[in-house]
Structure 1
Amino acid sequence: MNLHRFANPARFLRIARVVTPLAGWIAVATLLAGAVFGLVLSPPDYQQSETVRIMYVHVPSAWLALQSYIAMALAAAVALVWKHPLADLFVKAAAPVGAGFTLLCLITGSFWGRPTWGAWWVWDARLTSMLVLLFLYVGYMALAGAFDDEERGHRAGAVLVLTGIVDVPIVKFSVEWWNTLHQPTSVFRLGGPTIASEMLWPLGLMVVGFTAFFVWIVCVRLETELLHRKIRARLENTPA
């Protein structure tokens, strides 16, 4: 399959007109179902009691924080190597969404950590590396917008994103590489999930919902940016 053809803005807009509403409806349906099953129907944990319900927001937001950055890094590599403008725009569109997921992960983690560890925050390897990920998102947005030449800003931002990809495996494997307070991975692991199926199904719905929401909002942001560029190009070519 020739992936280069998807870099054509007109072709992307045709695809996005189908994908965007579909992703939006999937997000609404799965998030509503996941919220009902997770927050109301699923059983409390035998150790953490009702506090465990924070998991249904915390885990999907952590998953999307990492996946968003990986997607940005892939797009940044495509932009630097093949100089596809749509790849640059994807990185720009995804950055604030990924930052939002990362911030949500840190906030919900603090609410979960207070009754579990007795503290809102500890300089644990998992928490610290996730905070670094948030700084990478914010750093990209600040760097990409710091240049008068938009192309130079995108190029500098892409280099930062690719440099920062080293933090993703650190976040993922920090609980295995170091002795941390954060519990080991119980869902996305090679041996399969270790949590009860009554909790796994709602969590799966929330992960699908968060992923669909990411696709929906990034597509909307990309469509908006492409339309803005089209309008600017017409205005610049209009005689005074």
Structure 2
Amino acid sequence: MNWMWFHKLGSPKWFYELSGRWLPWLAWAAALLLGIGLVWSLAFAPADYQQGNSFRIIYIHVPAAMLAQSIYIMLAVAGVTGLVWKMKLADVALQAAAPIGAWMTVIALLTGAIWGKPTWGAWWVWDARLTSMLILLFLYFGVIALGQAIGNRDSAAKACAVLAIVGVINIPIIKYSVEWWNTLHQGATFSLIEKPAMPSSMWLPLLLMVLGFYCFFATVLLLRMRLEVLRREARSSWAQLEVARQVGSVL
């Protein structure tokens, strides 16, 4: 098997050039999917027979919760890549993705509270799913804080990688908490591998929203990574030429 692509991906210059070609497509896909998904879910999807229109919060809550967990898994993968293969671009990805994951976790917790009030009669309960999601937010905060507190970049990268790898044990706890413990939180609303329990008029817009959230994440991640790559490679000739080109295009 040819692993040349894997090693090329670790090159900041090669990544910068490749990501520049991906960005427009990802941005347009995110805008299109989120636009159609929002209009469909809020205006045309039928109300739930039990929860009425309050159930529509799932079109934000579920994608945000799924993405928050997926991003942390990505942090762990980036951490392993950085520790094993010493790829500095892995640390760039980890540092760029952590704040996005934290925001997605906040959105999931807030929308969950809004959904929980009419459903459970309380904004917050110390449910296993909610508590493990709160722990996920603290893990994100820990990764961000470590990355900013340690002055030496290599030491900070190792510390963040270790925390990301250790903390990934929380992801299966989040996923299976409703099965392992007696919780108020309902089971999985949406799954990519199982037949949906909802009618197509309800789960198709949810699928569009999930895909839109992931495209949005990829767009923001690449933008943040490109900026960080330029900052770290500021002394290299190619980065200086790229900055000069962008400044010239603006002027």
Superposed pair shares fold, TM > 0.5? yes
What displacement does 1:190 show?
4.9
The equivalent of 2:42 in structure 1 is 39
The answer on 1:192 being equivalent to 2:227 is no
Give me the whole-angstrom Cα distance separating, in 1, the residues matched to 2:175 and 2:93: 24
Deviates more, 1:183-192 or 1:1-10: 183-192
Give me the whole-angstrom Cα distance separating, in 2, the residues matched to 1:142 and 1:58: 26
**Deviation string, structure 1 residues 51-75 (Cα, Å, up to 9, x no partner):** 0110000000001001101111101
What displacement does 1:192 show?
2.1
Q: Does the CA-based 8 Å contact 2:62-2:189 persist in structure 1?
A: no
The equivalent of 2:157 in structure 1 is 154
Unaligned runs of 5+ in 1: 235-240
Give the TM-score taking structure 2 as reference length: 0.91
What displacement does 1:187 show?
1.4
The equivalent of 1:238 in structure 2 is none
From 14, 23, 26, the equivalent of 1:23 is 26
The answer on 1:204 being equivalent to 2:207 is yes
From 51, 66, 69, the equivalent of 1:63 is 66
Give me the whole-angstrom Cα distance separating, in 1, the residues matched to 2:147 and 2:165: 14
From 177, 181, 186, the equivalent of 1:178 is 181
Taking only aligned residues, the RMSD between alpha carbons, in angstroms, comes to 1.2
What displacement does 1:146 show?
1.1
What displacement does 1:228 show?
1.2
What displacement does 1:226 show?
0.8
5 Å-filtered alignment, 1:19-168, equals: 19-168=22-171
What displacement does 1:230 show?
2.3
What displacement does 1:201 show?
0.6
Q: Does the CA-based 8 Å contact 2:19-2:222 persist in structure 1?
A: yes
**Deviation string, structure 1 residues 137-165 (Cα, Å, up to 9, x no partner):** 00000012111111101110110000000
What displacement does 1:93 show?
0.4
The equivalent of 1:12 in structure 2 is 15
Give, as a single letter, the amino acid of the residue that structure 1 aligns with 2:143. Y
What displacement does 1:195 show?
1.3
Give me the whole-angstrom Cα distance separating, in 1, the residues matched to 2:89 and 2:72: 17
Give, as a single letter, the amino acid of the residue that structure 1 aligns with 2:173. I
How many correspondences in the alignment? 234
The equivalent of 2:245 in structure 1 is none
**Deviation string, structure 1 residues 193-223 (Cα, Å, up to 9, x no partner):** 2111111110000001100000000000010
Give, as a single letter, the amino acid of the residue that structure 2 aligns with 1:165. V
Unaligned runs of 5+ in 2: 238-251
**Deviation string, structure 1 residues 125-148 (Cα, Å, up to 9, x no partner):** 000000000000000000121111
Q: Does the CA-based 8 Å contact 2:178-2:186 persist in structure 1?
A: yes
**Deviation string, structure 1 residues 12-70 (Cα, Å, up to 9, x no partner):** 11110111111111000000000000011101000000001100000000010011011
What displacement does 1:232 show?
5.1
The equivalent of 1:221 in structure 2 is 224
Give me the whole-angstrom Cα distance separating, in 2, the residues matched to 1:149 and 1:78: 19
